[in-house]
Structure 1
Amino acid sequence: MIALPAIAGTALLVCGRRADRVAPSTSVTVAVAATALAILNALDRPEVSAPFLTGIPLSLGVDGLSAVMIVTVTAIVTAVLIFAAGDLRPDEPEARFHGLMLMFSAAMLVTVTAQNLLTLLFAWELMGAASYALIGFRWRDEQRAASGTVAFLTTRTADLGMYLAAGAAVAGGSLALTLDTLPTLAEPWRDVVAAGILVAALGKSAQLPFSFWLSRAMAGPSPVSALLHSATMVAAGAYLLLRLEPLLHSTGWAGPATAWIGVLTALALGAVAVCQSDLKQLLAASTCAQVGLMVMAAGAGGVVAGTGHLVAHAITKSLLFLCAGAWLTALGTRNLTGLRGSARAYPVVGVTFTIGALSLAGVPPLALWPTKDAILSAARESSTALYLAAWAAAALGTVYAGRALTLVWTVGRRTTVARPVDPALSDGITARGEVTAATNEIRNHWDEEEVGTRRVNTAQALPLSVLALCAVAAGAAVLPVVHNGFARVLGDSAPTIGWWEPVISGLVAVLAVATVATLIRRRGELSAVPFLTSWLGLESAVDRLVVAPVFTLARGLARFDDQVLDRGVRAAARGALAAADGLDRDAEHSIDRAVRGIGRAAGGVGRLARRPETGLVHQYFAQAVVGIVVLAVVLLVLR
């Protein structure tokens, strides 16, 4: 399940543009196979490990929570990759895109099956690196590349908490770093581990104060946004907190802190979503808000409620982001003014977006309706104040979902302009023989992001229809038999929900959406609040505290590299060359003369040695006599 996407993704990245033709079909096939294997793993619940460090293996396993997650992740990845096959531009490097998407999904699968902190750290790092490359996929655009860098630096800052947690776990005696043993650590190491895990999870899930990086992540292609915001990276932090809920509550302080950070994020980012003029920004802020409810559930002890909301949100948000991507490809805009009436122009996208938006609002009988009530029930059992704050956050969800839904279906107030419509430009926005001022304003926003194709192809429409059906089917979780069965899969007890709670929340959601639609139709758009449209000004604050210092340090290190290290290397090279020249000029010539002198002397001795060899016997006899006489004299002298 993990090796298939990892190996295929690596192969596509290595092959590069040569694999562009086969990349979409390869990635979809691998994703379908991984989904089938995920279902088998969810049924079989295997565990595997391999030795890595002394006493700390790489360990993977499937339990109830990870069984739900692996099926959700692989299914959403499959839908997104099918959409991507028809969404990328023809000139873009498809092998690199699909390779990164498969590597990203493999990292997420390792994350949700990791049994200890060491394995989790590997996956956490790979997921962060792959997300950086995917957000900055169109890196020739400086703004998109910068967005990837800002998102990467922000999440990396929070990731330091994971290293702190691992170090504290070792110091506390948990040498195997097993996740299940963390709640049993001795104080104060247990509290340090909980704090580190909390910071890392909040950063990954874009909770306060890290929320703004999700806004910058919208610079990536639409399939990337759909995957990041639904079942993978942003959900990873919430998953980790749900997984380690026993650790949070063992400290006494981490559980309540987690719950309140989650609900405050849901409130603040819900308000941010209401004020956005960009559809993808609205959906991004709503992701922070909805994940905030999952984080709140983890802090309040509602593991079943939080996990159910995670799955329902993954279906709903992937559907909404893919719809936004289909409109972006067709009309070249993400601006809500430019998208007014687009649901009429493209009915398949319009109907599926409607299902997703109503689900996001908590309207029955769709996916988020029962899971939202389970979340509220968990909050009620924890604290009345927390319950009221969660209700306010849920109400904000109906407002931003209802606003987006109303705008994509309505054109606006019609003020007629006396000139004929070009039928080639109408695209279903208006079929009348006259142009309205509202229609002109809409068209002014077309093609501002990219040149639109004015069509939605089959590869884009297919996953939208499937995800919309899943969003409808997931509403069955309101039935006791369904949510009790889901709780048994997780190995936990189902939350207690009175029959009146889903009835009241459903009526409130319907009335709220209807009220928002009526106000927008009668009075026009809501007034923007700059503080909220700028995501609470968080980016500028974190830029001063994190991003700017990191870049300042990087520039200083670059200057040190150029002016000190580089000069030192060049000076060493020049010194070596000068020494070589000196040796060549002085020592080498002396040695060469000495060698030549020895050679000449040896030659002279050889010539002298050959002179006695005349070939005449009487001369050899005379030489022998002389030699004997000399030897005799020597012997006499020595005696």
Structure 2
Amino acid sequence: MLWVLVGLPALAGAALLLGGRRAERAAAPAATAVAVALAVPAAVAAVHRPAVTAPALPGIPFGLAVDGLAAIGVCTLVAVFAAVVVFSAGEREGAGGRSRYYGLLLLFAAAMLATVTATDLFTLLMAWEVMGATSYGLIAFHWRHPRTGSSAAVSFLTTRTADLGMYAAAGAALAGGARGLDLGELAGVSGPWDHVVAGGLLAAALGKAAQLPFSFWLSRAMDGPSPVSALLHSATMVAAGGYLLLRVEPALAATGWAGPAAAWIGASTALVMGAVACVQHDLKQLLAASTSAQLGFVVLAAGVGGVAGGAAQFAAHAAAKSLLFLVAGLWLARLGTKHLAELRGAARGHPLAGTCFTAGALALGGMPPLSLWAAKDLVLAAAEPPGLHAAGLAASALAAGYAGVALAAVWSSPAPAASVRTAGGAGPGDARHAFAERLPLIALATAAVVTGALALPAVGHAWSLLLGRPGAPAPGLGEAAVSALIAVVVLAAVMLIGIRRGVPAEAAERRGVRPLRAWLGLEPAAGALVVAPVLAAARGLAAFDDRVVDRAVTGAASGVPRLAGVVGRRVEPAVEAVVAAVATGARGLGDYARRPQTGQAHQYYAQAVTALLVAALVFVLAGAVM
């Protein structure tokens, strides 16, 4: 079942990509069937915890296994993937490039499933590479749009730069004696290689999770299709960074510095990117910044050893954020905008989507008794020292703030101009496929609500046992009450102000907080160091290819007919004359050779005597000379 879990989407995705236009009509049904069918091997793997290996490199196998953490990752991923594929089947009906879209989605899902079940760095690296390549293709799906291509390049190059840390970690693990690059043995790598391993994995994870200073790439990734954002930036690509740190938490703790570094970076990202989210006027940008902030809690949990809380945050965030991105995509298709000011009244005009969006936003803001309220409390229960706990509470307040910003916008009374606004992309297909769009929203909204059961002591204890962490820190009644009060007060205040005075993000822009709205201006700095040099090198190589290699090949191809003409006019006649002369000479020699062949015995005898006399003369002369 574990091979099926990873192999089925990989084979289906490859078939759709290779099928090209011939697979266009079958792409959506095939992808939907695969996404739904994955529930069976996922459930079996979560219950029976299989482990498989295959020979790869000498002494380094290709290994997959499911433990408690991987079971949570697999089930979360399969659920979100199915929701995104079903939603896409309704939204993308009639759109071109379906085989490429669904093929990349399936390959990406296969790579992510391999990532969460990998048992060694070799397998993890393979899955990590495929995940990065397919994410580039998905973000750049609308590649004819000039900004989309550059955004995909910025996202890809930024994360790939951070991914170099994983290669450094693999090399250091081999040097430090980690047999087979097993992830479970990284904590026992001998010094000083253990510091290189921890640092490399930390860099790779922070890059993928869009943590500071890598957060800016997530803003550019929003130029991809909304269902792609719902998948990549909820339970998969971005979440993979936090998941990796949870997986290698013992290796971080063994160094003495990597764990605290991860915790403080996660807390700082939750604070700073929470502030960035609060001042956005674009809904997808708000959700993107909140993704970076929310995953900061997962990174914080990995740094303090709170694997149970980090896994809860991972799963709860996946449900809430994928829901919010899908609703944002639906409104973008219906209303033709993602600007908060132009989305005023969107929830009123689309009641089901508005209700689901509200459930997701309230969960995102940490409202009790919803999922992320319970998950954040599990994370903060393990957060020490007190300053780290205080930073987490402040980040929770900001989460309530940006959730309130979004809710205030979509529930405000629509502006007069917005009341007659219609979608550019609405059509008959919307009604025909409404069920395919609504079902995932209802399922994800339900998950975002019921996951709050983690706050119940019995459920939290069972969760810790599932992860093999009995006795994991749990929030007390007072801590839960404080976090709930913060969320309720902040979210209610922001919504009240937003509904009465307009979108808070617009007011913040007027007060001059442009650096926050521009994601702290991190992209220009990183672009000057990494993105711009690589793209400049790529343009230079492309020019060299066009001006040197291509011209050389073209020149050689055009020179062949000319050379053939010269050979035909000048060389070939000379060669023909030589051949004719040789033939004439051969015929002449043949004539001379036939003349002695008369058939008369006395002539043959005379010829033999003549030959003997010539031979004797040669010997006499040779002897005289000697």
Normalising by structure 2, report the TM-score.
0.91
Q: Which of these residues, 395, 408, 411, is aligned with residue 410 of structure 2?
A: 408
Report the counterpart of residue 624 of structure 2 in structure 1: none
Counterpart of 2:274 in structure 1: which amino acid?
Answer: G
The answer to whether 1:396 aligns with 2:373 is no
Is 1:201–1:241's contact at 8 Å kept on the other side of the alignment? yes
Partner of 2:514: 530
Whole-Å separation in 2 of the counterparts to 1:154 and 1:442: 41
1:2 matched residue in structure 2: 6
1:623 aligns with 2:603: yes
Q: Which amino acid aligns with 1:534?
A: A
Q: Is 1:557 aligned to residue 541 of structure 2?
A: yes
Name the structure 2 match of 1:59.
63
Kindly state the Cα deviation for residue 575 of structure 1 after the two structures are TM-superposed: 9.4
Q: Secondary structure at the match of 1:206?
A: coil
For residues 496 and 636 of structure 1, the distance between their equivalents in structure 2, rounded to whole angstroms, comes to 121
Superimposed CA distance per residue, residues 300-329 of structure 1 (whole angstroms, 9 cap, x where no aligned partner): 110110011100110111111111111111
* TM superposition shift of 1:202: 0.6
Q: Which residue of 1 aligns with 2:75?
A: 71
Deviates more, 1:336-345 or 1:566-575: 566-575
Amino acid corresponding to residue 330 of structure 1 in structure 2: R
Does residue 264 of structure 2 align to residue 260 of structure 1? yes
SS at match of 2:443: helix
The separation in 2 between residues aligned to 1:360 and 1:86, in whole angstroms, is 26
SS in 1 for 2:295: helix
Residue 320 (structure 2) aligned to one of 295, 307, 316: 316
2:189: which partner in 1?
185
Q: Is the 8 A contact 1:312 1:367 kept in 2?
A: yes
1:121-140 map, 5 Å: 121-140=125-144
TM-score by length of 1: 0.89
SS in structure 2 at match of 1:439:
coil
**Cα distance in 1 between the residues matched to 2:412 and 2:196:** 52
Report the counterpart of residue 221 of structure 1 in structure 2.
225
User: In the TM superposition, what whole-angstrom CA distance separates every residue of 1:120-160 from its partner, at most 9, and x where no partner exists?
Assistant: 11111111111111111011111112111111111111111
SS in 2 for 1:49: strand
State how far apart, in whole Å, the 2-side matches of 1:281 and 1:171 are: 42
Between the aligned partners of 2:616 and 2:593, the Cα distance in structure 1 is 28
Asked if 1:467 is matched to 2:447, the reply is: no
Q: Is 1:149 aligned with 2:153?
A: yes
| CA distance, structure 2, for counterparts of residue 601 and residue 453 of structure 1 | 88
**Secondary structure of 1:2's aligned partner:** helix
Other-structure match for 1:498: 476
Which residue of structure 2 lines up, in the alignment, with residue 423 of structure 1? none
Quote the sequence identity (%): 52
SS in 2 for 1:50: strand
* Residue of structure 1 in register with 2:583 after alignment: 599
- Separation of aligned partners in 1, 2:495 and 2:339: 18
- Mind listing any 5+ residue stretches in structure 1 that lack a counterpart? 412-428, 430-437
Question: 1:187 is aligned with what amino acid?
Answer: G
Which of residues 107, 116, 136 in structure 1 aligns to 2:111?
A: 107
Q: Deviations over 1:480-508 (max 9, x none)?
A: 22111111111112323212322332233
Q: Distance in 2 between matches of 1:7 and 1:518?
A: 51
Are 1:520 and 2:498 an aligned pair? Answer: yes
| Other structure's SS at 2:62 match | strand
Change (3 A) 1:567 1:40: same
**CA shift for structure 1 position 17:** 2.1
Q: Deviations over 1:367-418 (max 9, x none)?
A: 1121111111111xx210000000000010111111211221111xxxxxxx
SS at match of 1:52: strand
Q: 3-state SS of the aligned residue for 1:338?
A: helix
Distance 1:463 1:574, change over 3 A: closer
2:52 is paired with a residue whose SS is strand
Aligned match of 1:481 in 452, 458, 469?
A: 458
Query: Residues 629 and 24 (structure 1 numbering): CA distance in 2 closer, same or farther, change over 3 Å?
Result: closer
User: Following TM superposition, by how much is the alpha carbon of 1:621 offset from its aligned partner in structure 2, in angstroms?
Assistant: 4.3
Corresponding residue for residue 388 of structure 2: 386
1:195 counterpart residue number: 199
Do the aligned residues in 2 keep the contact of 1:332 with 1:452 (CA within 8 Å)? Answer: no
Which secondary structure does the structure 2 equivalent of 1:176 belong to? helix
1:231 lines up with 2:211 in the alignment: no
Checking the alignment, whether the CA contact within 8 Å between 1:256 and 1:299 is kept in structure 2 is yes
Provide the rounded CA distance (Å) in 1 between the counterparts of 2:541 and 2:615. Answer: 84
- Return the alpha-carbon distance in structure 2 between the equivalents of residues 539 and 254 of structure 1: 25
Deviation at 1:584, TM superposition (A): 7.7
Which residue in 2 is equivalent to 1:242? 246
- Name the amino acid aligned to 2:210: A
**In structure 1, C-alpha distance between the alignment counterparts of 2:582 and 2:70, rounded to whole Å:** 83
CA distance, structure 1, for counterparts of residue 614 and residue 135 of structure 2: 96
Runs of at least 5 residues in structure 2 that lack an aligned partner in the other structure:
621-626
CA distance in 2, matches of 1:249, 1:584: 79
Secondary structure in structure 2 of the residue aligned to 1:230: coil
Q: CA RMSD in A?
A: 2.5
Mapped partners of 2:399, 2:611: distance in 1: 122
Distance in 1, matches of 2:171 and 2:19, equals 39
Contact persistence 1:121–1:162 (CA under 8 A): yes
Q: What code does the residue aligned with 2:13 have?
A: G
Q: Decide whether the 8 Å contact of 2:179 with 2:185 is kept in 1.
A: no
Shift in CA distance, 400/608, structure 1 to aligned 2, threshold 3 Å: same
Report if the CA contact (8 A) 1:206-1:288 is conserved: yes
How many residues align structurally?
605
